[in-house]
Structure 1
Amino acid sequence: MTVRVWRPVVAAVAGLLLLVSFPPYGWSWLAPVAVALLTVAVSGARVRSGAVLGLVTGWVFFAPVLAWSNLHTGLLPWLLLAALQALYVAALGGALAWVAPWGARAWWWPAVTTSLLWVAQEAARDRTPFGGFPWARLAFGQDGSPLLRLAALGGAPLVTAGVALAGGLLAVLLAEAVRAWPRIRAAADRRAAWWAWWAWCRSARCWVPAAAGVALGVAAAAVPAARPAGAPVTVALVQGNVPRLGLDFNAQRRAVLDNHVAGTRRLAAEVAAGRAARPALVVWPENSSDIDPLRSPDAAVQISAAAAAVGAPILVGAVLRGPGRGQVRNVGLLWSPERGADTAQLYVKRHPVPFAEYVPLRRLARAVSAEVDRVGSDMVAGRAPGVIDTGPLTVGDVICFEVAYDEVVRDAVTGGGQVLVVQTNNATFDVAEATQQLAMVRLRAVEHGRDALMASTVGVSAFVDADGTVVGATGFNTDAVVVHQVRPGGGRTLATRLGYWPELVLVAWAAVMAVGAVVVRRRQPAAGRRDGARG
């Protein structure tokens, strides 16, 4: 297997640029450049070489972007997670090399294959193993890009396809520039070199992919943002903070609950003094009451007192014991000032996180890290979408990492959610993880045309308007209360109506390309394959 030195270097640079396109850096415009560099690195390589190059890009990207996962669990789980995710990018690199011969004569072929195969790679990564890990999809790094608007048409898969298509078009342009460079360099003098360069710029090989890339950006920016038409409703989020960050945050259950009660009481005092509007709903984050308030009278009294003080129902992020022995549920529970816990308005997290909220293959996992035994009780997954009627509005509730899963969020909207609520707990991570999660909330707001909010125990918490604008973002590892008016939405964007179909169509075309490449490779002379695969 021969791989020239420049190829792994370019692949590594692609991984670095992909990293800084994501929060907390947020240079989203570098994502297409990263995609272009990986495409160029793989161009003309053998399938095995393409896989190695993809692995380089994947590792350089995933190891640092997932560094927050090793803050309290040790190095090995983090490295294994990063390596697993990098393997999907390795498969992408091999697939790009595999399909290259089919459309070798068409200038647009690398751009289209890059776009489709990147979506297929993410579709596999989003679902396997153990329900998948969709973190750091291309779409989730575009919160500052006009390509984010594509989410309203086809969700996260279409945004990923747009980013990868832009990168593929740039790769075509780079490849053509490399081919033209010897002629420009061989010019007799500077004037001749400029004329050679200008002649190349005027050629179709230059301006067609460039124009296609510009057209893509303009078309994405022209997608209209949704404007929910409902009457504004005042909502407050409470970020109570925790005594200390780390895996033992839940050892301070009472302190965490007290912090959120205190924050709500401060809000009530502000309302009574006329310095804040009375909210119609208060949202507490995930794990704000790890003391089961349905079984602990003391916790129930504290939450009821907070709700009565502020004069509004509270959506509590709670951990409930049961239904079976040794089982727990991660829930969003509506708590009324008059009636207390409203178990009819209860959302049970549908997608518990493997190795964090339940432990598959526990004996094997324990050999990797003894920290898995901190998960003493496996969480039971809910079945119903997170649709909670609070009275003034119906919220679509998702909990923590569920915001990364397309179907979980969409079900909350199609079930009647007028505003998206993400209850999360970032106490075991850092500000990088929190800002990456907030970027996902921005995409979901645009995708479904819904105002949204993310309430975290430690930050970052914020409201997000339906056009993706962030309002009232809090600091990290601090207590805060934010009050904002949200607009209930009732309509459905094209992305909401289409659901998984855009992704299914894109993946199907990727599969057609992969199968078609089999036919082409069988017909291609062996010598031609060897010549085309060198380098």
Structure 2
Amino acid sequence: MSVSAVGKAIGGRTLARVIGAILAGLLLAFAFQPFDLWFLAVLAPGLLALLVREQSLKLSMLSGFVFGLAFFLPLMWWTGLEVGPVPWILLALLQAAFFVPLGIGFTLVQRLPAWPLWIAAVWVAVEALRGRVPWGGLTWGKLAFAQVDAPFLGLGALGGTPLVSFAVALTGGLLAWIVVNRNMRMRVAAGLAAGGLTMAGLLVSPPAADGETVTIATVQGNVPVMGLDFNSRARVVTNNHVEVTERLAADVASGEVEQPDIVVWPENSSDMNPYRDQQTYDNIQHAVDTIGVPVFVNVRVPTEDEQNVENTAVLWHPETGPAESYIKRHPMPFGEYIPMRNIARMITDAVDRQPRDFVSGDEAGIFDTAAGSIGMAICFEVGFDAIVRDAVVEGGQVLAVQTNNATFRDSPMTEQHLAMSRFRAVEHGRTVIVSALAGVSAVVAPDGEVLQRAELFTQDVLVAEVPLSDARTVATAVGTWPEWIIVALALGALGGLGLTTLRRGRAVDAAPAEKTDMVPAGMSSEAGSRM
């Protein structure tokens, strides 16, 4: 075979692997809402492992990158709805970059025994990294969040998102091992292990609620228009929630609906500052007085220097008005604050729609009320393990999530976001009340089942009797330990592999060179050997 033919063959195989990595990334995207084909999240890591097996590190880097790009471009296309395609593509490129070390890690750890275990650990280590950097990280696309309708879900009550992602990736690795292993017994063992791991979550359930029941209502007042433009009609949005709450009070008075113990309004339910706008204050107060119980309102509160704002959940009481509050701890970069604003403005002038940055709070979202202790998270915060766990550890007997998904219109973002709340319900054994500005609001049971939901861009009220609970799941008790243990496994595997390689290199350098007999010039080695 000629050199050119060999080169073409090698190039063809490389191209085939890159295309395979793209297809694997697309498969993973289809594991998430709205498709919800959860089993594809099992296949994708195993397929990527096969594609980078025994390949050069350069090809592994490229394969990992295109895998990540093919995953995030379709997963989060909705991020460009209001600001154009450039920010969406840049976000996908940034997230895809985290899959470069993933591809390298997948190649390296397959040199070790029991490599399916190590690729699962590497996957979770990458999720842990991109969930923290840059600017506090992004948790969208964790394998665990694709499993809310899968048998894996129950494992969330034992070890949260890290354990579920680990189990999913390990199952995929075991399936890949079946492909490359020639020992039939080992294949059967790997298949049985994969099946058992998939079904293990069915054996786990959150602890039973140990408190009394309370009645909670969530109000979805809707917005006049989809997209970011609803902000220009902030008074209309607030009045929508006032009117729906007053109708709820009328239904309670007529006996059609049970009197709630507490009411939850969504994020951005009052973008007009009620502390400065008397009409807004009076309208909210009238609604609260009419329903006769405290109402969680979400308001934008300017900082003392008026330069920035705080995304704040306020508990508004009948007669006495606003009191306890929680400031969002994790504002989203480029959504609620603009890092590197001058550079960002060169990419899109949409950054000027957010003229003031949101600043973060530093305390857990917990409210002690007559209806029990309510743990609070605001919008994307439900995707961050520590923020939700803090609210439970501090005493949250029910979880509430205030969110505004109107910005993303009728895209899959809303269902993807709801899946996170469903996961948190199982992880901590708590009912979760999702209050969305324009949908989807929901009541989620501790087992992750959606008991009630309000559809997108409708006005609705959900009223539900829900249990309070002080019981803790294993996941709540152990916190971040499962994640750090799995990350340590990944680092230990890679570190051990590197140390072994280094030692082998030193051993080769230290080995004595083979002795060669000297042969006089002009004499053949054969002749010299006869001398």
- TM-score normalized by the length of structure 1: 0.90
SS of aligned partner of 2:118: helix
Per-residue deviation at 1:276? Answer: 0.8
2:47 pairs with one of 32, 37, 41: 37
1:229 pairs with one of 193, 210, 219: 210
Is the Cα–Cα contact under 8 Å of residues 206 and 473 in structure 2 kept in the other structure? no
Is the Cα–Cα contact under 8 Å of residues 331 and 349 in structure 1 kept in the other structure? yes
Separation in structure 2 between the aligned mates of residue 62 and residue 466 of structure 1, nearest angstrom: 30
Per-residue deviation at 1:374? Answer: 1.1
Separation in structure 2 between the aligned mates of residue 17 and residue 525 of structure 1, nearest angstrom: 40
2:78 pairs with 1:68? yes
Separation in structure 1 between the aligned mates of residue 472 and residue 82 of structure 2, nearest angstrom: 41
SS of aligned partner of 1:354: coil
Per-residue deviation at 1:490? Answer: 0.5
RMSD: 1.6
1:150 pairs with one of 145, 155, 160: 155
Matches within 5 A, 1:452-467: 452-467=432-447
Separation in structure 1 between the aligned mates of residue 22 and residue 335 of structure 2, nearest angstrom: 30
Per-residue deviation at 1:218? Answer: 2.7
Give the corresponding residue for 1:4: 14
Is the Cα–Cα contact under 8 Å of residues 425 and 458 in structure 1 kept in the other structure? yes
Runs of 5+ unmatched residues, structure 2: 1-9, 509-531
Give the corresponding residue for 2:474: 494
Separation in structure 2 between the aligned mates of residue 251 and residue 281 of structure 1, nearest angstrom: 29
SS of aligned partner of 1:483: strand
Separation in structure 2 between the aligned mates of residue 219 and residue 247 of structure 1, nearest angstrom: 43
Matches within 5 A, 1:72-83: 72-83=82-93
Is the Cα–Cα contact under 8 Å of residues 37 and 171 in structure 1 kept in the other structure? yes
Per-residue deviation at 1:172? Answer: 0.8
2:462 pairs with 1:482? yes
1:160 pairs with one of 157, 165, 169: 165
Is the Cα–Cα contact under 8 Å of residues 431 and 459 in structure 1 kept in the other structure? no
Could you report, residue by residue, the CA deviation over 1:96-155 in whole angstroms, capped at 9, with x for unpaired residues? 112322x1xx3x31x111110000000110000011111111111111011111111111
Identity %: 43
Is the Cα–Cα contact under 8 Å of residues 109 and 119 in structure 2 kept in the other structure? no
> Which range moves more in the overlay, 266-275 or 136-145?
266-275
Bigger relative contact order (CA 8 A; separation at least 6): 1
Give the corresponding residue for 1:428: 407
2:249 pairs with 1:268? yes
Give the corresponding residue for 1:517: 497
1:409 pairs with one of 381, 384, 388: 388
2:379 pairs with 1:396? no
Q: Greater Rg, structure 1 or structure 2? A: 2
2:198 pairs with 1:217? yes
Per-residue deviation at 1:523? Answer: 5.1
Separation in structure 1 between the aligned mates of residue 187 and residue 428 of structure 2, nearest angstrom: 37
Separation in structure 1 between the aligned mates of residue 397 and residue 76 of structure 2, nearest angstrom: 32
Give the corresponding residue for 1:94: 104
2:129 pairs with 1:124? yes
Matches within 5 A, 1:40-59: 40-59=50-69
2:296 pairs with 1:315? yes
In structure 1, give the amino acid aligned to 2:437.
Answer: T
Separation in structure 1 between the aligned mates of residue 289 and residue 56 of structure 2, nearest angstrom: 68
1:292 pairs with one of 273, 281, 295: 273
Per-residue deviation at 1:525? Answer: 7.5
Is the Cα–Cα contact under 8 Å of residues 290 and 318 in structure 1 kept in the other structure? yes
Give the corresponding residue for 2:428: 448
Separation in structure 2 between the aligned mates of residue 113 and residue 43 of structure 1, nearest angstrom: 13
Is the Cα–Cα contact under 8 Å of residues 431 and 476 in structure 1 kept in the other structure? no
Per-residue deviation at 1:524? Answer: 5.6
- TM-score normalized by the length of structure 2: 0.91
Could you report, residue by residue, the CA deviation over 1:144-179 in whole angstroms, capped at 9, with x for unpaired residues? 011111111111111110111111111111223xx6
Separation in structure 2 between the aligned mates of residue 376 and residue 295 of structure 1, nearest angstrom: 19
Per-residue deviation at 1:224? Answer: 2.2
Separation in structure 2 between the aligned mates of residue 27 and residue 512 of structure 1, nearest angstrom: 33
Give the corresponding residue for 1:532: none
In structure 2, give the amino acid aligned to 1:453.
Answer: I
Is the Cα–Cα contact under 8 Å of residues 242 and 283 in structure 2 kept in the other structure? yes
Separation in structure 2 between the aligned mates of residue 228 and residue 437 of structure 1, nearest angstrom: 25
In structure 1, give the amino acid aligned to 2:310.
Answer: R
In structure 2, give the amino acid aligned to 1:394.
Answer: S
1:175 pairs with one of 172, 177, 180: 180
In structure 2, give the amino acid aligned to 1:357.
Answer: E
Separation in structure 1 between the aligned mates of residue 479 and residue 426 of structure 2, nearest angstrom: 14
Could you report, residue by residue, the CA deviation over 1:243-275 in whole angstroms, capped at 9, with x for unpaired residues? 111122211100000111111112112111211
In structure 1, give the amino acid aligned to 2:320.
Answer: R
SS of aligned partner of 2:298: strand
Give the length in aligned residue pairs: 496
> Which range moves more in the overlay, 62-71 or 371-380?
371-380
2:120 pairs with 1:115? yes
Give the corresponding residue for 1:381: 360
1:328 pairs with one of 309, 318, 336: 309
In structure 2, give the amino acid aligned to 1:134.
Answer: T
Give the corresponding residue for 1:533: none
Is the Cα–Cα contact under 8 Å of residues 47 and 95 in structure 1 kept in the other structure? no
2:376 pairs with 1:371? no
Separation in structure 2 between the aligned mates of residue 403 and residue 355 of structure 1, nearest angstrom: 18
Separation in structure 1 between the aligned mates of residue 411 and residue 467 of structure 2, nearest angstrom: 28
Per-residue deviation at 1:226? Answer: 2.6
Is the Cα–Cα contact under 8 Å of residues 334 and 390 in structure 1 kept in the other structure? no
Runs of 5+ unmatched residues, structure 1: 180-199, 529-535
Separation in structure 1 between the aligned mates of residue 222 and residue 363 of structure 2, nearest angstrom: 29
> Which range moves more in the overlay, 271-280 or 219-228?
219-228
Separation in structure 2 between the aligned mates of residue 381 and residue 323 of structure 1, nearest angstrom: 14
Could you report, residue by residue, the CA deviation over 1:355-410 in whole angstroms, capped at 9, with x for unpaired residues? 11111111111111111111111112111100012321111101011111111111
Per-residue deviation at 1:217? Answer: 2.1
Is the Cα–Cα contact under 8 Å of residues 118 and 490 in structure 2 kept in the other structure? yes
Return structure 1 stretches of 4+ with deviation > 4 angstroms. Answer: 523-526
Give the corresponding residue for 1:197: none
SS of aligned partner of 1:5: helix
SS of aligned partner of 1:147: helix
Is the Cα–Cα contact under 8 Å of residues 280 and 312 in structure 1 kept in the other structure? yes
Separation in structure 2 between the aligned mates of residue 225 and residue 397 of structure 1, nearest angstrom: 20
Give the corresponding residue for 2:528: none
Separation in structure 1 between the aligned mates of residue 312 and residue 306 of structure 2, nearest angstrom: 17
Separation in structure 1 between the aligned mates of residue 207 and residue 100 of structure 2, nearest angstrom: 37
Is the Cα–Cα contact under 8 Å of residues 431 and 460 in structure 1 kept in the other structure? no
2:220 pairs with one of 220, 224, 239: 239
